[in-house]
A and B are shown apart, each in its own frame.
Chain A
Amino acid sequence: GQQVMQIPQYQHVQEGEDFTTYCNSSTTLSNIQWYKQRPGGHPVFLIQLVKSGEVKKQKRLTFQFGEAKKNSSLHITATQTTDVGTYFCAGGGGYQKVTFGTGTKLQVIP
């Protein structure tokens, strides 16, 4: 079945440093979604990428979808304490059988 791996599993950064998490799928994806889960909370949708090579920005967050539609990345510029949480990618394989990555837990040190 479809597998989606994320690296790193954990990341500690000083406030103001940049952060990147990578997502890799064993199969070609129809789309990739990114979610953020604050500590003790539930996943909240951030963005969806559909096209090969697509790049989208949300303020300090930059999302990329690979040319082969098998990988994606999320880059946060100049992290803030409000960025703390776990970031999940989720690969769409059709019929909403969305497969979530293992997540990257981000800790920001003030």
Chain B
Amino acid sequence: NAGVTQTPKFQVLKTGQSMTLQCAQDMNHEYMSWYRQDPGMGLRLIHYSVGAGITDQGEVPNGYNVSRSTTEDFPLRLLSAAPSQTSVYFCASSRGQFNEKLFFGSGTQLSVL
């Protein structure tokens, strides 16, 4: 069991470039989510999914797209990167939707110049 796998670990982009952050879990978890972590602001929810084919917005969704075509994968797309998106991104999953502990990936450190 690898748990939650995120790639890449580090990425540097120029303003306006696009990229996809990959997230995969092998625990057959129903729920998956993306967070960004900025100093002094904790973890803020970007998008989440309660199952294949179902996604919804979190607290800070602007500038990000997601899709969930399979139970295992939940990629996060930045269509046109901006310096404000410089952050550490974490993917997390849980078995169900309610009162379930989150399992986090190891994170992606993204810098947008």
Contact = CB atoms under 8 A, between A and B. Distances in A.
A33 B99 CA distance: 9
Contacts of A92: 98-99
B42 A103 contact: yes
Contacts, number: 63
Q: How large is the interface on A (under 10, 10 to 19, 20 to 34, 35 or more residues)?
A: 20 to 34
A100 B100 contact: no
A45 B58 contact: no
A98 B102 CA distance: 10
A33 B43 CA distance: 13
A71 interface: no
Interface of B: 31, 33, 35, 40-45, 48, 50, 58-59, 90, 92, 94, 96-107
11 contacts: A33-B102, A42-B106, A43-B90, A43-B102, A43-B104, A45-B101, A96-B96, A96-B98, A96-B100, A98-B102, A101-B42
